[in-house]
Structure 1
């Protein structure tokens, strides 16, 4: 296992070096096509560093480009590359605006992207073919088998299948009671009693034991067999007998721990990525969009009704900590701020109805994002009165407060926004919020933001 991890680390570094080399080559080629020279001007040398740095971030945290899994379908690999370049372009465009790099040649940038995409795409295709050849050939340096066909065995097989280690070759499963309807049934070589003979005949190097840890005698027997025949014997714990749901297992100072709930944002690296994006995105909106729309919306609100431009209200945030949430005022001044807006609500002004339908009333919340009280994407912060009520009647309601609330969320773009006069509507919101927590990814945030903008353009019938 450690040998594989070390190989992967070296592999990733080598692929990153290859990428940087190809990007540098693409820059020089693009500069020659655009200006007829291979010498980059100073501003393009600076831009090359920025371009490469963003590519390192994109390829690193999402594994889009630093994987060469031969088992991933061709269309999936193509989609991964496209997604990586879309994300890279989005972040780079934000950097160009923030650092005032508009003087860069758009034509040179286009040439650079096209040539980089072709070079990196072609390099990954070649690496895929090499990986596939070595993985399926007799030249594979390490041959391994898995004892068991349960959840732990399947997870291990999937992990190794998605591993970019061309020196490992999977030789089969061994189980006394395999599932004959499993798609992996053809890879079962026999029962546990057949394992020793098979290993000796085929020169197996590693045995992974992925069955419930209930038979100490069997584990000791196989361990002794492996030791006596110069094979590595590794145990992959199967907790399916005591844990009936998906879990995450990790090591804390060499102490194994199980997390019952899957939460990608538990990882500090993911939290850093999300927070960095929140700061960059909120600053962009505050500096470039807010100064333009504030005078227009403020004038419209003042002409439409008496009262302040902004509306402030306490909302429960992460771990139920209250914070002051900012919005443009969309209602006549009233004393019923803890009552949810309804369809044709007389409290909502004419301008307020438009702001709500287009989500423009939420723009001031980007200050909440900058302050860290909110995120661009996350479960919407409900009213304090809703927290008190729904936490008593919806089992998983409090789970949504494990993460920072957002300006927009998965539930909202999935059709669950507006009034929640029936309990099942709030239950569906909570369901989508929990799904977001358990399946978070940067691309998921990008998708939600895109759908939010699209809904703003077309309008939403449940926004009132």
Structure 2
């Protein structure tokens, strides 16, 4: 509860500071000589709208979900993602309402100065936390009852995160397993716990024994209360479930799941869908009018056949939908055979479209229809699903979420032809990892990497 309180206070402080930094960014932009960016009579309203959209994009990309464990790199990625979401929402507003007449250089300079100030503020945040950690402020002495898997996980957590706040003093267990906990870390039997706590002025006791030790737990709880020592309970389920399981609370009931499921929460699904709609509309309104006619004409001049290629693919919960693409092959009968390197079926224009991922552009229509997401596991044809689901155990786990135009596996190099089952296994591994670690910031990162790969080209794209 204490950490949650600190988290709320820090979140509010950063939230308020961001408003000031946006105001400062407006001032800096003017000082740089770009004074006619927004008419004077519209400046206040534009500032409020700009700030409000920043708050919306900030909560969508979780930039305010920070604590002392959040790495600076993660903070910067989240800020970049929030900037992209902010830009999409602002452009959508400006394009549809035409409320403001903004000078061309004003927005780029405003965004650059805002981003620089936000990064500096997060850097100051991390520096402040480091100062408190290494100064020993609020340092607490802790012991762990139970040389168990859960107890080892606690110890490794404290050690790996370099907690100067927590000073680990040792384990207490009657039958410690040297294969789990090194004997040098064992300070004694459970009977020795109370005397040690009083002698060393212990602040917190972590109880990490398996269920079934209620009498012992009650005794330690009374001792802790009598001596103003905080008791934390982390029951050990090492013999029942693996550390890959995830726990959440259903009211006051702990529930275990085989994996983290952020997209199993309705609010996250809503936020992801909102981002998909905003981003797709931005692409359709800005990119489609320029690129679509050029690609369509090129396809028609290069070979006979339709401009678009539609193919049934398996989506969320195995439901079939028609996936749209620009046609990149000559018209032929075999539409379910995977493309290979130097495939004679691919046209000259099609080779370029595949290399640059431009053949996927029509799928933003699929996104608006709700069949696809901007980011997610790539949808496969039914024949591939039937084949790989028998060979790869977690293959169909991908279908818990909406398929995407681009995905975590694709930006990590696993796209194109899959000659071996091991290559598909790696794709599935990345897809499941994406599902377990989803955030809007991760979606934005994948979009950035996809665009970068389009620019530099990919060997596996054909």
Whether these two folds match at TM > 0.5 is: yes
Structure 1 segments unaligned to the other structure (5+ residues)? none
Q: 1:125 aligns with which of 124, 127, 130?
A: 127
* Deviates further, 145-154 or 291-300: 145-154
Task: Determine the structure 2 residue equivalent to 1:9.
Answer: 8
Structure 2 segments unaligned to the other structure (5+ residues)? 95-99
* Deviates further, 312-321 or 260-269: 260-269
* 1:41, distance to aligned residue in structure 2 (A): 3.9
1:415/1:127 Cα in 2 relative to 1: closer, same or farther (>3 Å)? closer
Structure 2 residue 444 is the aligned partner of structure 1 residue 446: yes
Question: Aligned partners of 1:265 and 1:443: how far apart in 2?
Answer: 14
Deviations 1:334-360 (A, max 9, x none): 322222223333333222222222211
Question: Aligned partners of 2:39 and 2:156: how far apart in 1?
Answer: 45
1:223/1:23 Cα in 2 relative to 1: closer, same or farther (>3 Å)? same
TM-score normalized with structure 2 length:
0.83
1:44/1:154 Cα in 2 relative to 1: closer, same or farther (>3 Å)? farther
Q: How does 1:88-99 map to 2 (within 5 A)?
A: 88-99=82-93
Task: Determine the structure 2 residue equivalent to 1:174.
Answer: 171
Q: How does 1:190-229 map to 2 (within 5 A)?
A: 190-229=188-227
Task: Determine the structure 1 residue equivalent to 2:97.
Answer: none
Question: Aligned partners of 1:270 and 1:279: how far apart in 2?
Answer: 14
Asked whether the 8 Å contact 1:173–1:187 carries over to 2, the reply is: yes
Question: Aligned partners of 1:457 and 1:22: how far apart in 2?
Answer: 33
Partner SS state of residue 338, structure 1: coil
* 1:257, distance to aligned residue in structure 2 (A): 0.4
Partner SS state of residue 415, structure 1: coil
Partner SS state of residue 95, structure 1: helix
Question: Aligned partners of 2:324 and 2:237: how far apart in 1?
Answer: 46
1:128/1:322 Cα in 2 relative to 1: closer, same or farther (>3 Å)? same
Asked whether the 8 Å contact 1:315–1:322 carries over to 2, the reply is: yes
Q: How does 1:104-123 map to 2 (within 5 A)?
A: 105=106, 106-119=108-121, 121-122=123-124
Q: How does 1:48-447 map to 2 (within 5 A)?
A: 48-57=47-56, 60=59, 64=63, 67-69=66-68, 76-77=71-72, 79-100=73-94, 103=102, 105=106, 106-119=108-121, 121-122=123-124, 125-126=127-128, 128-130=130-132, 133=135, 136-137=136-137, 144-153=142-151, 155-156=153-154, 170=167, 172-176=169-173, 177=176, 190-447=188-445
Question: Aligned partners of 1:159 and 1:152: how far apart in 2?
Answer: 11
* 1:386, distance to aligned residue in structure 2 (A): 1.3
Deviations 1:135-185 (A, max 9, x none): x24x56x7654333544345556778999x99x755534233376997x99
Asked whether the 8 Å contact 1:146–1:208 carries over to 2, the reply is: yes
* 1:219, distance to aligned residue in structure 2 (A): 2.0
1:320/1:16 Cα in 2 relative to 1: closer, same or farther (>3 Å)? same
* 1:320, distance to aligned residue in structure 2 (A): 0.3
Deviations 1:317-339 (A, max 9, x none): 01101111111122233322222
Asked whether the 8 Å contact 2:411–2:449 carries over to 1, the reply is: yes
* 1:294, distance to aligned residue in structure 2 (A): 1.2
Asked whether the 8 Å contact 1:152–1:210 carries over to 2, the reply is: yes
Question: Aligned partners of 2:62 and 2:39: how far apart in 1?
Answer: 30
Deviations 1:14-59 (A, max 9, x none): 332343344445544654665799x994544334334434544565
* Deviates further, 7-16 or 251-260: 7-16
* 1:299, distance to aligned residue in structure 2 (A): 1.1
Deviations 1:101-128 (A, max 9, x none): 6715244554444445445543553465
1:49/1:120 Cα in 2 relative to 1: closer, same or farther (>3 Å)? farther
Asked whether the 8 Å contact 1:31–1:40 carries over to 2, the reply is: no
For the aligned residues, what is the CA RMSD? 3.6
Deviations 1:49-85 (A, max 9, x none): 344345445655666566352x67xxx43x2443243
Asked whether the 8 Å contact 1:58–1:84 carries over to 2, the reply is: no
Partner SS state of residue 278, structure 2: helix
- Which fold has the larger relative contact order, with Cα–Cα distance below 8 Å and residues 6 or more apart in sequence? 2
Question: Aligned partners of 1:112 and 1:425: how far apart in 2?
Answer: 42
* Deviates further, 288-297 or 209-218: 209-218
1:459/1:7 Cα in 2 relative to 1: closer, same or farther (>3 Å)? closer
Question: Aligned partners of 1:206 and 1:388: how far apart in 2?
Answer: 53
